[in-house]
Structure 1
Amino acid sequence: MKIALLGAGHIGQTIARLLHATGDYTVTVVDKNAKYLAVLAAEGIATAEIDTENKAALAAQLRGKDAVVNALPYHLAITAASLALECGCHYFDLTEDVAATKAIKDMAHGAATAFMPQCGLAPGFIGIVAHHLAKQFDEVRDVQMRVGALPAFPTNKLKYNLTWSVDGLINEYCHPCEAIHGGEFISALPLEGLEHFSLDGTEYEAFNTSGGLGTLCETWAGKVQNLDYKTVRYPGHRDLMKFLLEDLALAGDQEKLKDIMRKSMPATMQDVVLVFVTVSGMKNGVLLQEVFARKIFADRDVKAPLSAIQITTAAGICAAVDLFREGKLPQKGFVRQEEVALPDFLANRFGKAYQQSRQVESIA
């Protein structure tokens, strides 16, 4: 299967190596950063140095490919999907942007190829888990999804280090959040809905952020009382972000905030990804709750270290592509994350990264 992989950043490089190593994919990595591409080229992976915002140049790279795997910043998702449609390619991406996903869904209507956005961690794997658990109930009451990509050793006031795209981080903090409350669809404010919980002996907070639940609101409309997604952080993070975004009005100057964070907040490869889903409802006349909890840790291999967010995000999209290639997903039109069977995902050679993580057995 011939793949055009757009983006050679940390996540893109991980995706490229995973797909290339199987021998089942011919991968060409497309980016404007010659330094990143050179690293992959030295490993025998084909590369193409072009400006990914140049539509004509990008289209030239997509022609003749079977699929596009997009690991570019979220604001390029619609452009990449449009070119994939134009060139007759299947399309997969990692976007958490709600508007981009809706636009891609519209363009996928009637398409001869498949369009599957939101194939990462959240949205992505978290929705697969939630849908799998919810299907086991006769009547679903509450679906709660909580995900955090956190530094293993927080040291600053925000108790946070950059573990993934700062563009995506700020984007999810600034846009309305879809949810279902009391059986009705609602649009909740980001950074609101603050809650605290303890998992595996560590204290956390969680609050509304946009994009994480993918298309679950639409899929479960009329069939669930309450459904929501919240981002997990260490206690105190939310209040400081509200101060920056609201009190200092940096929500209106996001580029300035991104610049500040890039200059002052170190990135880290020593992170942990927390996945926590609870579903409650009626089963055989009894009110029950099912919980799925995982902690995925960074791989500190000396030669090729991987952060937990690299592992989980790359595993999500690679598993989606792999399951598609095996014919286990629809082959055309818009493909939702909920159409991935959780057992198939966890049994997949890429998806097993989540299965090999440490399960958390208790919650207080």
Structure 2
Amino acid sequence: MKNIVVIGAGKIGSTIARLLIHSGDYHVTLADRSRQQLDHMEANPALNLAEVDIADHAALVRLLSGKFAVLSAAPFHLTIAIAEAAADAGVHYLDLTEDVESTRRVKAIAASASTAFIPQCGLAPGFISIVANDLASRFDKLDSVRMRVGALPQYPSNALNYNLTWSTDGVINEYIEPCEAIVDGQLIEVPALEEREEFSLDGVTYEAFNTSGGLGTLCETLKDKVRTLNYRTIRYPGHAAIMKALLSDLGLRHRRDVLKDILEHALPSTMQDVVIIFVTVSGWKNGRLVQETYANKVYSAVVAGRMMSAIQITTASSICAVLDMLAKDELPTKGFVRQEDIGLDMFLDSRFGHYYAQKAYGEKIAG
């Protein structure tokens, strides 16, 4: 049984802990600075609770020392402190961050580390990169890779058509920070909330727009190999316009704490959500222009004996699947590991990856 530290006892961190404990192969120490958050976890012989301040580097290193890995489900601004402690403690490091700059710094830390550093192990970035890279590998020559993901309420009931289903800090960050993209073969940055588009899936209309971080390291991986690469977040129509008014017209992009307070007091959370994953890749096979698509919906369900939201299931199962592969030596055990280094079939065949199992591939020949 491997000893794991999960940092962050919120919605996602507690779900990760429950999945790992339920597997029977891991002993989990769940760490958070909030005793109130920790006390929400039910007792289990395979669980320890630890109240820790991430800012206390020495205390964090002591907590991590002797463990197999640390999984960070903490807010993105704590990423570097946890990664540095993991390097000093000599443990493997996995996180869920969508923040581009944090990932760059994790990569720098990994360069001299004796263990594996695997950031962006969630849904997007994370699983979406594994899917996109798998599709892209099937082509002789690539033209475009378009990635769309959204975690949405099944029953929207407010003007934003949205409920809080994961980190409020993360949502705000991806709506503000610049977004990487490849346009006409050039790696550039584009503004968040722009380039809005509409599409329909199963008779429902959605909008999608630029958000930061969802591409993970794919821009670097596919640079000089693809003409167009972009990532957009899926929402119900009308969401982007209201968020742009809040962030730009009212200036709340400069007052993130105020916006967070507004959202958390105005938008209820929900367990009745759906995660939509939609990846389209086009290019040439045997001289013909071809398009392949991965489309999938994951709904909230009972997992490990508890009702879990779709975003909890998809995010937590992704990082747990990567941990399992690392524990089985199916991934590199030293240095920086990209999500696209992970095979899609290997991921989906894992005990945690099966939560994504209702996959659907489509192929269309153009021209």
The TM-score, its normalising length taken from structure 1, stands at 0.96
Contact kept in structure 2, 1:40 and 1:46, CA below 8 Å: no
Q: Tell me, which stretches of 5 or more residues in structure 1 are unaligned? A: none
Structure 2 residue 213 is matched with structure 1 residue 211: yes
d(CA) in 1 for partners of 2:133 and 2:320?
Answer: 20
Q: What does residue 37 of structure 1 align with?
A: 38
Q: What does residue 346 of structure 2 align with?
A: 344
AA matched with 1:15? I
**1:21 partner SS:** helix
Question: Which deviates further from its counterpart, 13-22 or 313-322?
Answer: 13-22
Deviation track 1:194-253 (CA, whole Å, cap 9, x = no partner) reads 000001110000000000010000000100010000000000100000000000011011
Q: What does residue 292 of structure 2 align with?
A: 290
**1:261 partner SS:** helix
Q: What does residue 7 of structure 1 align with?
A: 8
d(CA) in 2 for partners of 1:257 and 1:346?
Answer: 37
Deviation track 1:98-133 (CA, whole Å, cap 9, x = no partner) reads 000000001111321100000000000000000000
The change in CA–CA distance for 1:283 and 1:196 in structure 2 (over 3 A counts) is same
Q: What does residue 174 of structure 2 align with?
A: 172
Report the alpha carbon displacement of residue 303 of structure 1 after superposing the two structures with TM. 6.0
d(CA) in 2 for partners of 1:152 and 1:360?
Answer: 23
**1:158 partner SS:** coil
d(CA) in 1 for partners of 2:38 and 2:256?
Answer: 29
d(CA) in 2 for partners of 1:204 and 1:4?
Answer: 38
Structure 1 residues 221-236: aligned runs within 5 Å: 221-236=223-238
RMSD: 1.6
Q: What does residue 278 of structure 2 align with?
A: 276
* Alignment match of 1:263 (pick from 262, 265, 268): 265
Q: What does residue 21 of structure 1 align with?
A: 22
d(CA) in 2 for partners of 1:41 and 1:87?
Answer: 28
d(CA) in 2 for partners of 1:16 and 1:171?
Answer: 25
Structure 1's consecutive aligned runs of 4 or more residues displaced over 4 angstroms after TM superposition are: 300-303, 358-363
Contact kept in structure 2, 1:96 and 1:118, CA below 8 Å: yes
- The alignment covers a number of residue pairs equal to 362
Q: What does residue 355 of structure 2 align with?
A: 353
AA matched with 2:59? A
Q: What does residue 311 of structure 1 align with?
A: 313
The change in CA–CA distance for 1:302 and 1:339 in structure 2 (over 3 A counts) is closer
d(CA) in 1 for partners of 2:87 and 2:163?
Answer: 37
Report the alpha carbon displacement of residue 47 of structure 1 after superposing the two structures with TM. 1.2
Structure 1 residues 1-364: aligned runs within 5 Å: 1-40=2-41, 42-44=43-45, 45-299=47-301, 304-355=306-357, 357=358, 359=360
Report the alpha carbon displacement of residue 43 of structure 1 after superposing the two structures with TM. 2.8
Question: Which deviates further from its counterpart, 247-256 or 35-44?
Answer: 35-44
The TM-score, its normalising length taken from structure 2, stands at 0.96
Contact kept in structure 2, 1:7 and 1:29, CA below 8 Å: yes
Contact kept in structure 2, 1:5 and 1:27, CA below 8 Å: yes
d(CA) in 2 for partners of 1:32 and 1:100?
Answer: 21
Report the alpha carbon displacement of residue 55 of structure 1 after superposing the two structures with TM. 2.0
Report the alpha carbon displacement of residue 35 of structure 1 after superposing the two structures with TM. 3.0
